[in-house]
Structure 1
């Protein structure tokens, strides 16, 4: 009896959308670029903003930290909710609204007259960014067929890495020629262009059967994430996670999130199906995302001080030195799918995490005279490692969920990334601060008692006090460099250890290479979309 031929699966994406899918990806990358880039741009402008008016705003160290953290707090707290609303209301509507709010917040931030205004408008930017980030990935999953999704996600992941790396370069160029507000105002024309192109090219998509909204779950997720991220940020500021207020907020956030999980398991219309987390590949992928950004963001935090404070490079020069990381991400991320097809996601991600751990741990051997070419090789290795991690794990997360739940999947992916990054900056920043203080305290005997506590906070604080003391402060400079390098070595080894932990997780739980000819992973609940139903 002759076997009936196997029919190829019918296309899920309407032909009109399929034809313009790469142009749509380009528009999504444009909106993603400004949201991610703006976060890294601000890091090079903090010194200028701290300067007295009219050069800057005269912001204090605490105000500068909250100019960064207000964005992070709102962004992380609303990511999950934004993904759910995209699935329910339509991802195009959410994307357009988010990018518009981000543009308005950027214009207001550029025109801020006080540090408090800047903090408030950065929170508005975080609100817009929270709705943009998950929507870009959710739209991508609905305009590409399943076999092309890994390639598209690779380009998306490469764009994230590119934006992180070119942010300091863009900021350095702007600050050399314009006032500090230009780092925000530059977003406005890009936002206007993105709005026009989105309205023209991007199709709308949503979950055709969203069910009733889980309002309790949404509120619990917001409250839990805000409390957790606030506690993490505050603990990093104080360089102590035993402070009573820090403990209350962190433990309170974890308790609320635990209540959220219990509620979701019992709800007949959950905001997110907790059964997805019972899939080892899904849970391993989101854990890897959190661990990768925990390790990487902690090193990114101290590498800026190493390049500028210890090595004496300008903000622009420091940004240019990180270009190899961006180049490696841009080159390897879109091609990572080919390596996965040959060796399997488990092998590729494990190797990527080991490479990242080596790149992060290399900082433990850097000193003030390490050759520049060595720095460039290490940054390139970090970028190559990231490229072979982010694409496979993002594909694992997104393809584990039905297409109509793409917003939820993207929100989970980005929430773990953001919380992991915030933890990395806070925890590894605290390790750096504690190690630095322990090394420098023995050299502060000649500093006036009123300045001693300030001088021990960071290398920037020590060098600032040394400058105020004039010739008497010269004796602090060399010990400050030595103390920072020792602290950086300890922190680098800690970050490398976190990356190696991620390697163990993916090696244990991520699926290996499929046999040749075996069907790809499928989602039982996924069904073909009727024309005009989920994508139009």
Structure 2
């Protein structure tokens, strides 16, 4: 089997499988939240931390793990990360309480952070320029498919089995990746000893943790002084980190500032944050809409989301090849425009009495757009990165994207919750006229705090009057369902428009990218741009 060691396509397959497994866990848990609440007896806040603990650990450690890959060997970090992720997945599935589950989800995030930056940097190192476009196309398709397939696969597992299987499914996959990786992945090329920037790691990790914690918990604590102090501490720690890094630029910094001298690297990192807004701005409200407004089961909601996955798979492969031939600029602009257009389309056609069929075409368009972004971003962000900094560049890129996801979750969640509270009150006042006068006051008051119950699956908190006639109780339940359904749709529309607006801002940012006329002759050579004479390489 040694003949497979270093084989380009076998290496890509091993990297893509591990990448798929970790990215899938960013979205697969969302659709299992109702089942977790019922079976674990957990509070809503605890279940939300099951989601956030993974994203938080991932965002905090990505830059560190990317740099460790440069210094200690990408193969070692990748396989170690897969092992940690696999064992943590098994522990998550065996958890007996929400506290255990939250802790093991954080460990899962550590494993994901160890392996994720290595995937992109190894691909860039292993594949020559002529084949790199196709390889990055497969990598991009994996990114798009994993994000879109999470709700679909999660819905199937939850409906057929229970929530534990969204974690157990990772175990055999992880074992396969480890065995194949030991046989296939090329060995480390490091020939000299390196020093690791421990103070930089601590400052960067503390800054990202404070930022992520403040954004995640801000709405819960009504953005009080403690939350703003946490965010301010993040800014101060970031300033300290930048000062510290400035003094290490002649040595081995955790974040080489030279990376940001490249216009493409800087712009694409901003674009990645915009794309994160699009992903969160679609997935959060759409999952609630399908299950809580239309009443779909987790499995049926997941099947609807397959349209999104289908669009991503169709466009991601060709986008990888075209990005190497034409450059990332116009592909990114086209992809984000289609992504934003799909969000607006969903917002327009979504209806409380819909069947779910009306969102299939806009979801497919959204998937097409998303598929056109992952590969060009990966290609452009790594185009001019020196080989010895590829891990650091990949870590910075992935870390900023995860921070973007946390920021997007805070903004999108705040907009959705604020608009929902207003819409529910308006709908309750309007539809209370359908009830007897004696029931109207209590009915309207029941929706005063309904927006706070958003993540619990859309329960309004309005109960039929105790001891009242059964027909009145049924009438109250029916009208309450109409209030929530129409109120949520009203709140979902501006929420998706916010995400679409951020994507369009990303389109404008892409105007700063240079158009590449030819692919670079080596993995880290400087490409020809429209600002240079066409005869110069």
Query: Hey, what's the Cα distance between the residues in 1 that align with 2:27 and 2:190?
Result: 33
Instruction: Tell me which of 257, 264, 267 is aligned to 2:245.
Output: 264
Answer yes or no: is the 8 Å Cα contact 1:80–1:411 preserved in 2: yes
SS at structure 2 position matched to 1:277: helix
After superposition, the C-alpha distances for 1:266-288 in whole angstroms (9 at most, x for unaligned) are 22321121122122211001110
Answer yes or no: is the 8 Å Cα contact 2:447–2:461 preserved in 1: yes
Residue 326 of structure 1 aligns with which residue?
309
Query: Hey, what's the Cα distance between the residues in 2 that align with 1:467 and 1:330?
Result: 45
Aligned: 1:122 with 2:105:
yes
SS at structure 1 position matched to 2:28: helix
Query: Hey, what's the Cα distance between the residues in 2 that align with 1:110 and 1:480?
Result: 33
Residue 166 of structure 1 aligns with which residue?
149
Instruction: Tell me which of 393, 410, 420 is aligned to 1:409.
Output: 393
Aligned: 1:46 with 2:54:
no
Residue 530 of structure 1 aligns with which residue?
none
Query: Hey, what's the Cα distance between the residues in 2 that align with 1:218 and 1:385?
Result: 35
Moved more, 227-236 or 437-446: 437-446
Instruction: Tell me which of 215, 232, 235 is aligned to 1:254.
Output: 235
Instruction: Tell me which of 504, 507, 532 is aligned to 1:503.
Output: 507
Residue 245 of structure 1 aligns with which residue?
226
Instruction: Tell me which of 484, 491, 502 is aligned to 2:488.
Output: 484
Moved more, 98-107 or 470-479: 470-479
Query: Hey, what's the Cα distance between the residues in 2 that align with 1:467 and 1:168?
Result: 30
Superposed, 1:31-430 pairs within 5 Å as 31-51=18-38, 56-205=39-188, 207-208=190-191, 211-238=194-221, 240=222, 242-267=223-248, 268-269=250-251, 270-340=253-323, 343-365=326-348, 366-370=350-354, 372-430=356-414
Query: Hey, what's the Cα distance between the residues in 1 that align with 2:125 and 2:264?
Result: 22
SS at structure 1 position matched to 2:40: coil
Answer yes or no: is the 8 Å Cα contact 1:77–1:225 preserved in 2: yes
Mark the CA change 1:73 to 1:468 in structure 2 (over 3 Å): closer, same or farther: farther
After superposition, the C-alpha distances for 1:510-536 in whole angstroms (9 at most, x for unaligned) are 11142x699689547xxxxxxxxxxxx
Mark the CA change 1:355 to 1:111 in structure 2 (over 3 Å): closer, same or farther: same
Moved more, 311-320 or 360-369: 360-369
Mark the CA change 1:513 to 1:371 in structure 2 (over 3 Å): closer, same or farther: farther
Mark the CA change 1:451 to 1:114 in structure 2 (over 3 Å): closer, same or farther: farther
SS at structure 2 position matched to 1:28: helix
1:420 deviation in Å? 0.8
Answer yes or no: is the 8 Å Cα contact 1:455–1:465 preserved in 2: no
Moved more, 222-231 or 206-215: 206-215
Mark the CA change 1:22 to 1:521 in structure 2 (over 3 Å): closer, same or farther: closer
SS at structure 1 position matched to 2:200: helix
Q: Number of residue pairs matched?
A: 502
Answer yes or no: is the 8 Å Cα contact 1:207–1:405 preserved in 2: no
Q: TM-score of the superposition, structure 1-length normalised?
A: 0.88
Instruction: Tell me which of 7, 14, 18 is aligned to 1:27.
Output: 14
SS at structure 1 position matched to 2:281: helix
Mark the CA change 1:114 to 1:510 in structure 2 (over 3 Å): closer, same or farther: same
Mark the CA change 1:210 to 1:464 in structure 2 (over 3 Å): closer, same or farther: farther
CA RMSD of aligned residues (A): 2.5
Query: Hey, what's the Cα distance between the residues in 1 that align with 2:262 and 2:67?
Result: 21
Query: Hey, what's the Cα distance between the residues in 2 that align with 1:139 and 1:473?
Result: 56
Answer yes or no: is the 8 Å Cα contact 1:236–1:427 preserved in 2: no
After superposition, the C-alpha distances for 1:491-525 in whole angstroms (9 at most, x for unaligned) are 11111100000000011x111142x699689547x
Answer yes or no: is the 8 Å Cα contact 1:440–1:456 preserved in 2: no
Moved more, 288-297 or 398-407: 398-407
Query: Hey, what's the Cα distance between the residues in 1 that align with 2:218 and 2:15?
Result: 35
SS at structure 2 position matched to 1:493: helix
Moved more, 338-347 or 104-113: 338-347
Residue 470 of structure 2 aligns with which residue?
none
Answer yes or no: is the 8 Å Cα contact 2:70–2:392 preserved in 1: yes
1:108 deviation in Å? 1.0
Answer yes or no: is the 8 Å Cα contact 2:336–2:504 preserved in 1: yes
Query: Hey, what's the Cα distance between the residues in 2 that align with 1:91 and 1:155?
Result: 20
Superposed, 1:391-470 pairs within 5 Å as 391-442=375-426, 443=428, 445-447=441-443, 452-453=448-449, 456-458=452-454, 460=456, 463=459, 465-466=461-462
1:407 deviation in Å? 1.2
Mark the CA change 1:220 to 1:319 in structure 2 (over 3 Å): closer, same or farther: same
Query: Hey, what's the Cα distance between the residues in 2 that align with 1:456 and 1:96?
Result: 42
